[in-house]
Every structure is written in C-alpha cells, then in structure tokens.
C-alpha cells in the first residue's frame, strides 16, 4: 500500500498514518495531575509557573507538588482587580475572589474575565456586613442576593462563601448553602499596606495547602500578591483555586462546613 497514488484512497492512507502517529506518540504527562487520586473527569487543570523545571527546586518528598491558594476579598475594584488579573495571567497563576455584591454592577466584565481565565468566584456578602446574629431575611439579603447576581452574570450556581471578618455562628453555617472558606495565612495587608512586610509574612508562613487572605482593592496588596507568586513559584509552589486545592487533596467541600487550609 502506497500513500503516493493520486487516488481517493490517499485520504485513507493519510488518516491511517495520522492515527498511527497518534497512537505511538507518548502522552506528555501533566506533572501536577500525575498523582491525582481523582477520576479523570473530575480532575482540574492546575496552573503552572512558566517553567517549573527551571524555577523549582526538586521537591524533597518526591512527586507531590506543593499547592497553595491565594484568595482576595472585598473586590471587585476595577483598577486594582484588573491589574491583579493581568499579573496572574502573566504568571499562569489561579486565584479565588470573594466578591461584594454591591460592587458587581458595572463590573460584570471583570467577573466574566475572572471565570474565563480560570479563577474561582465566591460570595463575601452584598454590603460587607457581619453575618452573625442576623435574621434569616437579613442573611438572605446579604448572601442570597449576591448569589442571585452571580448566577445571573455567570449563568451557573455553586459559589463558595467567605463571611466578612470570618465571623460565624450556627445560623451562618446552617444557612450558608455553600462551603465556608476562611484562611490560614493573614498578613493583615489592610493595616499598613506595606508590600515588603506583607510579602515576607506570606512567604515565611507558606505551606503546602495554605489559604492566603489578601484584598485586591489596594495596589500594595496586588503588588505583594504578584511578588509572592514569583517567590513561591521559585520554591516549587503552584497557585490554584480554593476548590482545586481541596479537590487535588481528595477533600470534598461540604455546604456549611468551615475550611481554613488543607490539613496535611
């Protein structure tokens, strides 16, 4: 059988050849997913630094990569959130944004951009109020109202919840309708807006499975976040969304349960 004959069978030859090449080509292993215990259809794309082999020191424990989640509260704010999204995109890093419902109008394009670029979106109430000791109606006015806006803009449900100030009570847990995500590293970036201090705090506390709290409404925090990514990429960390962080560690997030980090 020859592939040079000018005959309709040439197409079959070419297709057969391509199929053979396809079958014989070894698949490029996705390093981060290699040890994932999740079934293939539940695996998530994990962001990678541009050249992990070049920048990351070999993981002493072997195969499992170190995963960490950056989370940003109190946005969106057009100027700073856009700058952050640009920086995350340049670095191939994913993050999670806990948004204020009252700030969504006019910023719908930012929400769509977040999602299109692989970030996760969560609820941080409509008006940044403490959720404890609220009536059900007042709770819904903060959480359900924000959820409804997100559903309308993004066309799906399933948003994590972060209560302002991390304030919780039994009612918040019962009514949350979503996993409640707190944090394990809080550099208090709002206090002095000191980029260098915030970076040092985060880098010195970073562990596999950490959840970092920042606010993307301050330019200094955006700058700190991007520097943290560069520093921790060089230590072999991968920046993933909160849901991916837990999924990759085989933890199923449950509504009303509180999560601060992946327990290692």
Residues with catalytic function: 73, 215
Rounded least distance, CB 74 to Zn ion, Å: 4
The Cα 216–Cα 234 span in angstroms is: 23
CB of 38 to Zn ion, least distance (A): 31
Q: Which is nearer to Zn ion, 32 or 110 (CB)?
A: 110
Report residue 191 as tokens: 């206090």
Please count the residues of this chain forming the interface with Zn ion, following the rule CB under 5 A.
3
Kindly state the DSSP code that residue 28 receives in the 8-state scheme. P
Look up residue 169 and give its two tokens.
């009570």
Contact between 134 and 168 under an 8 Å Cβ cutoff? The reply is no
Q: Distance of CA 165 to CAs 15, 61, 74, 80, 94, Å?
A: 60, 36, 11, 21, 23
Q: Interface with Zn ion includes 120 (CB under 5 A)?
A: no
CB-based closest residue to Zn ion: 73
Closest CB 212 distance from Zn ion, rounded Å: 14
Given the complex with Zn ion, which of 74 and 189 has the nearer CB atom?
Answer: 74
φ/ψ of 97, rounded to 5, equals: -115, 120
Residue 86: both structure tokens together: 């640009």
Secondary structure class of 262 (helix, strand, coil): coil
Q: Which of residues 138-177 bind Zn ion (CB under 5 A)?
A: 164
**Is the Cβ of residue 36 or residue 103 nearer to Zn ion in the bound state?**
103
Q: How far apart are CA 222 and CA 216, in angstroms?
A: 6
CB of 165 to Zn ion, least distance (A): 7
Question: In the bound complex, what is the minimum distance in angstroms from residue 42's beta carbon to Zn ion?
Answer: 31
Pick 7 or 78: Cβ nearer Zn ion: 78
| Positions in 17-76 near Zn ion (CB under 5 A) | 73-74
Binding residues for Zn ion restricted to 67-86, rule: CB under 5 A: 73-74
CA distance 128 to 96: 17
**For residue 113, what are the CA distances in angstroms to 44, 80, 173, 219?**
19, 14, 30, 19
Beta bridge partners of 123: 99, 161
- Please identify, using beta-carbon distances, which residue of 46 and 143 lies nearer to Zn ion: 143
Residues that bind Zn ion (CB under 5 A): 73-74, 164
């Amino acid at each position: 059988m020859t592939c040079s004959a000018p005959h309709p069978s040439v197409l079959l030859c070419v297709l057969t050849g391509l199929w053979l090449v396809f079958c014989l080509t070894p698949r490029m292993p996705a390093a981060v997913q290699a040890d994932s215990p999740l079934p293939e259809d539940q695996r998530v794309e994990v962001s990678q630094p541009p050249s992990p082999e070049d920048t990351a020191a070999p993981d002493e424990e072997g195969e499992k990569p170190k995963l960490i989640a950056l989370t940003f509260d109190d946005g969106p704010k057009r100027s700073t959130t856009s700058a952050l999204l640009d920086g995350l995109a340049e670095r191939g890093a994913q993050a999670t944004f806990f948004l204020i419902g009252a700030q969504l109008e006019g910023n719908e394009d930012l929400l769509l951009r977040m999602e299109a670029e692989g970030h996760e979106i969560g609820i941080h109430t409509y008006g940044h109020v403490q959720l404890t000791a609220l009536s059900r109606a007042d709770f819904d006015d903060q959480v359900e109202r924000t959820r409804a806006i997100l559903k309308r803009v993004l066309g799906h449900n399933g948003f994590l919840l972060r209560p302002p100030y991390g304030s919780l009570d039994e009612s918040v847990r019962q009514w949350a309708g979503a996993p409640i995500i707190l944090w394990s590293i809080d550099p208090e970036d709002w206090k002095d807006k000191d980029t260098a201090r915030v970076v040092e705090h985060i880098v010195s506390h970073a562990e596999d499975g950490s959840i970092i709290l920042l606010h993307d409404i301050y330019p200094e925090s955006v700058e700190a976040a991007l520097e943290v990514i560069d520093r921790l990429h060089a230590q072999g960390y991968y920046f993933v969304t909160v849901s991916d962080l837990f999924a990759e560690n085989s933890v199923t997030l449950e509504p009303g349960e509180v999560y601060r980090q992946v327990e290692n």
